[in-house]
Structure 1
Amino acid sequence: MSIKQLLLAGGVGLLAVAMSAGLASAVQSEGQPAAAAPVVSSGAPIVEITKRCPSLRYVGRKATFEVVVTNRGTGPARNVVVTDNFPAGVEFLSADNGGQREGGNVVWNLGTLEAGQSRTLKVEARCNQITNVRNMARVTYCAEAQAECQLVVKGIPAILLECVDDPDPVEVGSQTTYTIIVTNQGSETGTNIAITCTLPPEQEFVKAGGPTEARADGKVVTFAPLPSLAPRAKATFLVTTKGVRPGDSRFAVSMKSDQIDSPVTETESTNIYD
């Protein structure tokens, strides 16, 4: 039995054709058929495979991968096996229609696919890391065909802003320090994180420090943007003030970044007494 290999237009994949037993054709994830197939004799199976998946997911989210195999021929395709490959970073969760996990693959033994019959197979998986996923499925019977889909997995930064004073309460003429902690709780790096602090009337600026330069202009302290903050990383900014008159004061902190559309604010209460 001779085997002929055809390279499909559009880079879909490799098509193997068993000329004496049948024909397999591959279809892109958008549903466009491959190049014209060789002529086959009456009663031959022609098995087509289509692969579908979402184009974008975020880290930690689930994705459903779908394989459709269809016998477009006039005869049955026997001993049909579908293999769906999963690359690193994608965690297998479940498969329908009796699909079994075998290493990095999910395998379905479909048996006979009659002429005109179609089977839809689904796999649910979780995207665990930032990556570009190339998911390929293969159908074999007396010939072989492949199809693939592309999935981009992205992360999301999630910046937490915290502020605490020490000491509190504060006597007029004494100092207190505000510790501002910025934590990236997300799965992607946060960029250009800018901290701005506003002092209340009951306080005056003494000093400030942190991973970027601080500038004071009256009651406003501005830190230069922090270029990047990796997932699970923290950055600490310090602002020291002095109590100048008694009152229940409010120290305000505002945070912006490339990924934050509107400022995040935090207010810390400090009691200043005579």
Structure 2
Amino acid sequence: MNSNAPILLMLALGVAIVGRFPADAEPPSPTRDSLPSSSRAILLAEAQPHRATFLGNPQTRFAPPLERPSDLRARFRDEKLKPDIAVILAEWGWKGNLEDLHYAALTAEITEVQLPYGTRMPFMSSRKDGKPICLRDVIWEGKHPAPAYVFTFSSNGRKYRCVTPKACSNFFIEDLGPELSRLELVKTMPAETSVCDPFEMQLIVRNTGRVILNRIQITDALPAGLLTADQRSATNFDVGTLRPGASREFRFHAHATAAGRYENRAQVTSAEGVGAEATASTSVRAPILALECEAPGQVYLGRPARACLTLRNTGDAAESKATVTLPLPAGAVVVDVSEGGVTSPTAITWELANLAPGANHQMCATLSLPQPGALSLVPEAKGLCAPRVQSACGTRVAGVPGILIEVVDLEDPVEVGNNVVYDIRVLNQGSLPGTNLRLVCTIPASQEFVSATGATSARADGRPVN
């Protein structure tokens, strides 16, 4: 037989193939010019495709025939076949991930198709002497369309179609081109919250493409004024790997240090360079306390002073509990306290619940001091949420001079012509010194001034004696 003539070979396809050289011939040497002309003809034939005309030869088929989709899943699940599949794909130079192929074979939708005459396959798995081989560039030239099972999958950024003829399980893989890679990130937080309350943030990352994405990371840098529960200004999440359609959810708590509107932007990235961003915003409200103190400018000693405190919430959020404290000045005596006030030796305290925005509440206390002087009041208020505020007012406690004059004649009755002594005493019974005092005595017409002694000199000016 002429070794250079085309012949029919029953190879691993389990097919009849128009071949390139006899079954017992060795592949030609890569150095074409060093070979005789007949060998060069064989090398030229190497580039021609295999022409398959029959499927199902038990000696060359890759695995038993398939009757239903579950049979195909069983072939890819078979631990004995997995190494042979790896050999075939390595010979072909496939750049995909075997795990992606096996996972898709077990989970993807499998459909049945008919391979028409002339279908060209980039390669096809087969066997020779029981060993797996990869036949390249195969054309189906059978008399009838060949039924086959098909499923699609993605791996390393590309989309593939795995086709397996039912008669022989001789699979091949078609490269359908770059796969769409896409990540979606959704961030949510309350539209409105209070500076008093921590709130929850939620992040959901979803692989909306058709490619497995790896080493996915979420970075969430909080805007100034927002902190996590452990007082950090940013948080990161290691998502790992996401298959197409898969998603993961992350939650964490944050709080605001001041009222205002905050916009937060988070980012997600993957090892493949695919990323996305998401933003969410919240309006943070806060109670703001304002405290006023009013007291009379002056009271006289012995008369009580009534001081009143007014607490207002000028913010835009309710204060759940406000405490107002009025420290007592040294020596002050509490005469009366308005409703809700609790008196201790050092202060009067009121507690107010749920002080709404714009609301106000008045508290009063009546005090007295045993001595003249300044009555200084420095009340303060604080909330569970609202910061501490202070106010101040005061009263001057004034003393009053109380002058008492006593006049006693040391001898009574008095004979005409004799002297009589009058003892005059001036006593300040009040709480304030009397100043610029002047004592004036008027002598009756039946008497005449003789002399006077005392703390100051006296002078007679007619009947009056000063």
Give yes or no for TM over 0.5: yes
Check whether the contact 2:294–2:308 (CA below 8 A) recurs between aligned residues: yes
CA distance in 2, matches of 1:59, 1:218: 41
Gaps of 5+ in 2: 1-193, 198-257, 261-282
Write 1 or 2 for the structure with the bigger share of strand: 1
The superposition leaves residues 147-172 of structure 1 with CA deviations (integer Å, 9 ceiling, x where unpaired) of 01122221111212221212121111
Which amino acid in the other structure matches residue 168 of structure 1?
D
- 3-state SS, counterpart of residue 163 of structure 1: strand
CA distance in 2, matches of 1:137, 1:217: 59
How far residue 190 of structure 1 moved from its aligned partner, in angstroms, is 0.2
CA distance in 1, matches of 2:463, 2:289: 74
CA distance in 2, matches of 1:148, 1:217: 55
1:192 to 436, 442, 450: 436
How far residue 89 of structure 1 moved from its aligned partner, in angstroms, is 4.2
CA distance in 2, matches of 1:120, 1:160: 44
CA distance in 2, matches of 1:125, 1:218: 52
Residue number in structure 2 paired with 1:245 = none
Does residue 110 (structure 1) correspond to residue 285 (structure 2)? The answer is no
Does residue 43 (structure 1) correspond to residue 218 (structure 2)? The answer is no
Residue number in structure 2 paired with 1:169 = 413
Under a length normalisation based on structure 1, what TM-score does the superposition of the two structures give? 0.63
1:55 to 297, 304, 307: 297
1:129 to 371, 378, 383: 371
Residue number in structure 1 paired with 2:341 = 99
Matches within 5 A, 1:215-254: 215-222=459-466
CA distance in 2, matches of 1:218, 1:210: 20
- The Cα RMSD (Å) is 2.1
Matches within 5 A, 1:82-97: 82-97=324-339
CA distance in 2, matches of 1:194, 1:158: 14
CA distance in 1, matches of 2:414, 2:301: 45
Rg comparison, structure with higher value: 2
How far residue 218 of structure 1 moved from its aligned partner, in angstroms, is 4.3
Which amino acid in the other structure matches residue 118 of structure 1?
N
The 3 A distance-change label for structure 1 pair 189 and 89 is: farther
Comparing both chains, which one has the higher relative contact order based on Cα–Cα distances under 8 Å and sequence gaps of 6 or more? 1
Percent pairwise identity: 35
CA distance in 2, matches of 1:150, 1:134: 4
The 3 A distance-change label for structure 1 pair 47 and 218 is: closer
CA distance in 2, matches of 1:214, 1:89: 43
Which amino acid in the other structure matches residue 365 of structure 2?
V
Check whether the contact 1:137–1:147 (CA below 8 A) recurs between aligned residues: yes
Check whether the contact 2:259–2:285 (CA below 8 A) recurs between aligned residues: no
89-98 vs 61-70, which moves further: 89-98
CA distance in 2, matches of 1:162, 1:106: 46
Under a length normalisation based on structure 2, what TM-score does the superposition of the two structures give? 0.38
Residue number in structure 2 paired with 1:259 = none
